Amino acid sequence: MSVLSGKNILLGVTAGIAAYKSAFLVRLLVKAGANVKVVMTPSSKDFVTPLTLSTLSKNEVFSSFTNEEDDNAQWNNHVELALWAHLFVIAPATANTLSKMAHGTSNNLLLACYLSAKCPVYYAPAMDLDMYQHPSTIETFEKLNSFGNIQIPATHGELASGLVGQGRMAEPEDIVSFLEKDILKSLPLRGKKIVITAGPTYEAIDPVRFIGNHSSGKMGYALAEASADVGAEVVLISGPSSLHLENNLVKVLHVTSAKEMYDAAHAYFDNCDIAILSAAVADYRPVQVAAQKIKKKDSTLTLSLEKTDDILASLGNIKKKQFLVGFALETENELENAKTKLKKKNLDLIVLNSLNDKGAGFKTDTNKVTLVTKDNKVIPFSVKPKTEVAKDILQHIIKQLHA
């Protein structure tokens, strides 16, 4: 999955022959999982039709402040469009539009969106060789870059005039690649390796039955997704779960038992920077596993259980540079038990949640957590979706790593 997945991208199209490539660019952005809206300069419609771009983006295309064919239509709010966007990409960006951007001219909807944008703005110049090399154009580039805009450099090739040289708009595939690399470069956990455990473990009684718990894995999967979103390379060790995650920054390992999770966690721990153990690992397992299904003969059945290996404690014993995070699901003396676990297992952070809190615990889409740091600082949070809880946890880890 691309880092563009889930991003809102506002694509600005200006009046150059390269505008035909915007259709291919929209298609690639949508394929990468982005939500795309297109804003066009009025003249750009001479080169590519709004119908084409709206069909490919699956969104209305905007080119003016009002719908001139409908006297009762609402105006197209440039501020709303600009604030919707996580990224604003102007491709192709003609010399005319770039000059207006540099000097604050706002005589069409696209330029008004640009002046209202709070997100990163990327522009892909497209013009003929002499225009590209003109001192005024070079000055425009310098001014735009000084504003914090990001140039996607034009390439060398055959131009519309028949000349060969610099000024050809970057190909749509290269624009998408440029965006992905630039986003990854700025992400706070880029280059970091994270191991995350998620879900329950099942400890076999016989070939049919097992000892397990109600964990769905939602918290761990949310942590894996959020970690990838901030640039980390993630190994997600998942116990049995119905959840699926497809992200090229996340490697998912499926395990069943506590022993399998123990082995997988130890296999990846040495080379990781951060380990977050959110799995609900079984504390006990049957001493003997029946080779055949146990038949219902007697009114009672006695099982002999033995302790499973404590994955979190074992990693705490061997950790060196790793930032180790554990979870504590408690039903009584919550904070006291969490602090004890934090110290006993040599953790850097523990995430406490209580089954007594409404909206917390297994199978829910929400959670209510309290973070307890190594120096016993207590940071409570309100009930939130697990996706937001994951972001809160990661933001704290990032702050600690950069402290």
CATH of residue 362's domain is: 3.40.50.10300
Is residue 163 over pLDDT 90? no
Domain's final residue, options 133, 158, 186: 186
Listed residue (114, 109, 129, 183) closest to 152, CA to CA: 183
Listed residue (216, 178, 219, 260) closest to 353, CA to CA: 219
68 in a domain, yes or no?
Answer: yes
Please identify every residue annotated as catalytic: 213
Contact 113, 199 (CB under 8 A): no
128 with 267, same domain: the answer is no
198 with 171, same domain: the answer is no
203 with 219, same domain: the answer is yes
Q: Which two tokens stand for residue 230?
A: 């901030």
299 in a domain, yes or no?
Answer: no
Q: How many domains does the chain have?
A: 2
- DSSP 8-state code for residue 75: P
71 in a domain, yes or no?
Answer: yes
Stretch 364-371: mean pLDDT, rounded? 91
Sole residue written with tokens 């105006």:
75
Stretch 281-288: mean pLDDT, rounded? 95
234 pLDDT tier (thresholds 50, 70, 90): very high
292 in a domain, yes or no?
Answer: no
Beta carbons within 8 Å of 44's beta carbon, 6+ residues apart: 13, 14, 15, 16, 19, 63
Least confident segment among 28-42, 57-71, 301-315: 57-71
262 pLDDT tier (thresholds 50, 70, 90): very high
Stretch 66-83: mean pLDDT, rounded? 73
Domain's final residue, options 121, 155, 186: 186
Is residue 75 over pLDDT 90? no
Q: Quote the radius of gyration of the chain (alpha carbons, Å).
A: 27
160 with 199, same domain: the answer is no
143 with 206, same domain: the answer is no
147 with 173, same domain: the answer is yes
Domain's final residue, options 160, 186, 212: 186
65 with 130, same domain: the answer is yes
Q: What is the CATH number of the domain that holds 95?
A: 3.40.50.1950
233 with 216, same domain: the answer is yes
Q: How many CB atoms sit inside 10 A of residue 33's CB? A: 15
Contact 100, 58 (CB under 8 A): no
254 with 126, same domain: the answer is no
297 in a domain, yes or no?
Answer: no
Stretch 334-354: mean pLDDT, rounded? 93
262 with 329, same domain: the answer is yes
197 with 181, same domain: the answer is no
Which range of residues forms the domain containing residue 137?
8-186
260 pLDDT tier (thresholds 50, 70, 90): very high
161 with 239, same domain: the answer is no
Least confident segment among 143-147, 234-238, 352-356, 397-401: 352-356
Beta carbons within 8 Å of 244's beta carbon, 6+ residues apart: none
Contact 326, 280 (CB under 8 A): no
